[in-house]
């Protein structure tokens, strides 16, 4: 069965500032109990995007670091933010063991290396992001959940 999905955005992120503007825009659209599932190879800018989202939600971006070993970081902001790194998770049962359902109840959940656990996220209101190297910058593909959209006027160049 096809999933009901929202619009897809193909974006050019020529420099760090462009990734940060995308984060600012995402912060304006993300709501509690929504998930941003981010994929992208090493150093593609996943944490940079999350740092800008945290700042956009009124949190302290300096507290943001990859939760590679802690698995979960939490930040205080207008909405509580949960930052997960799924790199070391095997599958959705590892995610459940972290208390994912409870975490999602009131928070925005931002996940790096989300492909590890994406099947377990099928019931969530989910934004999907894939960031790829596109020298000297990056490109991103972003899929909004049904009924949601981004206001991209200021954000980035659009790919042809």
Contact residues: ligand ATP, CB under 6 A: 13, 15-16, 18-19, 40, 42-48, 66, 112, 137-138
- Closest residue to Mg ion, based on beta-carbon distance: 47
Q: How far is the CB of 62 from ligand ATP (least distance, A)?
A: 14
Residues in the chain: 160
Find the binder of Mg ion among 66, 87, 124, 148 (CB under 5 A).
66
Q: Which is nearer to Mg ion, 51 or 139 (CB)?
A: 51
Q: Is residue 87 near Mg ion by the rule CB under 5 A?
A: no
Is residue 132 a contact partner of residue 60, using CB atoms and an 8 Å limit?
Answer: no
With the CA atoms of 109, 113, 115 and 119 taken in that order, what torsion angle do they form, in degrees rounded to the nearest 10? -30
> Residue 67 binds which one of Mg ion, ligand ATP, none, with CB within 5 to 8 A depending on kind?
none
Is residue 24 a contact partner of residue 55, using CB atoms and an 8 Å limit?
Answer: yes
157-158 β-sheet, strand order = 72-75, 81-85, 108-112, 34-40, 125-134, 137-143, 8-13, 157-158
Q: Which is nearer to ligand ATP, 18 or 125 (CB)?
A: 18
Q: Which is nearer to ligand ATP, 51 or 125 (CB)?
A: 51
Q: Kindly list the residues in this chain that would bind Mg ion in the complex (CB under 5 A).
A: 46-47, 66
């Amino acid at each position: 069965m096809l999933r009901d999905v929202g619009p897809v955005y193909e974006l050019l992120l020529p420099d760090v500032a462009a990734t940060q503007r995308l984060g600012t825009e995402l912060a304006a659209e993300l709501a509690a109990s929504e998930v941003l599932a981010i994929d992208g190879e090493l150093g593609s800018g996943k944490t940079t995007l999350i740092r800008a989202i945290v700042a956009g939600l009124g949190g302290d971006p300096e507290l943001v670091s990859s939760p590679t070993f802690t698995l979960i970081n939490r930040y205080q902001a207008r909405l509580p933010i949960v930052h997960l790194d799924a790199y070391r998770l095997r599958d959705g049962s590892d995610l459940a063991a972290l208390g994912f359902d409870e975490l999602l109840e009131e928070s925005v959940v931002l996940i790096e290396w989300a492909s590890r656990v994406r099947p377990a996220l099928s019931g969530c209101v989910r934004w999907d992001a894939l960031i790829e190297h596109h020298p000297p910058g990056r490109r991103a593909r972003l899929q909004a959940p049904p009924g949601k959209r981004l206001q991209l006027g200021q954000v980035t160049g659009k790919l042809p």
